[in-house]
Amino acid sequence: MDLENQARIKGFADKYGKDLVIVLGAGEAQAAELAAETVTKGDPTYAGPLAGVQLELPVYHAFELKESVEPGVYEDQAGMMEMVLDVDALNEAVKKFRA
């Protein structure tokens, strides 16, 4: 997760507290895992605004929310990617950071 997005998330977390849910759209499990770790346990690289900051925010991959999104919108925004990416690996990479 880049430093600009870390700063945005930190700002939203400061404003809204635990009423914030993070939805990731990473295409690789390793990237999804790193982003999920960053918004829950803090930036593991200690390079960004979330270094040492444990927000413990709920985090999901967009694929996990398929049933919560209007089908046409989901198909337009994620349908093609769902066919070419490893959905199970992405969901598992993120799911392990939820309590």
Kind of pairing, strands 22-24 and 59-61? Answer: parallel
Phi, psi of 24 (to 5 degrees): -100, 155
Cα separation values, 6 from 15, 21, 31, 57, 92, Å? 14, 14, 14, 13, 22
**Helix, strand, or coil (residue 61):** strand
- Judge contact between 73 and 63, C-beta under 8 A: no
Residue 88: predicted pLDDT:
97
Rg (CA), the chain: 14
> Which mean pLDDT values do the consecutive 10-residue runs of the chain (99 residues) have?
96 95 97 97 95 96 97 96 97 92
The answer to whether the predicted template modeling score (pTM) of the entire model surpasses 0.85 is yes
For residue 22, list its beta bridge partners: 59
| CB 39 within 8 Å of CB 23 | no
Tokens 């066919």 sit on residue:
83
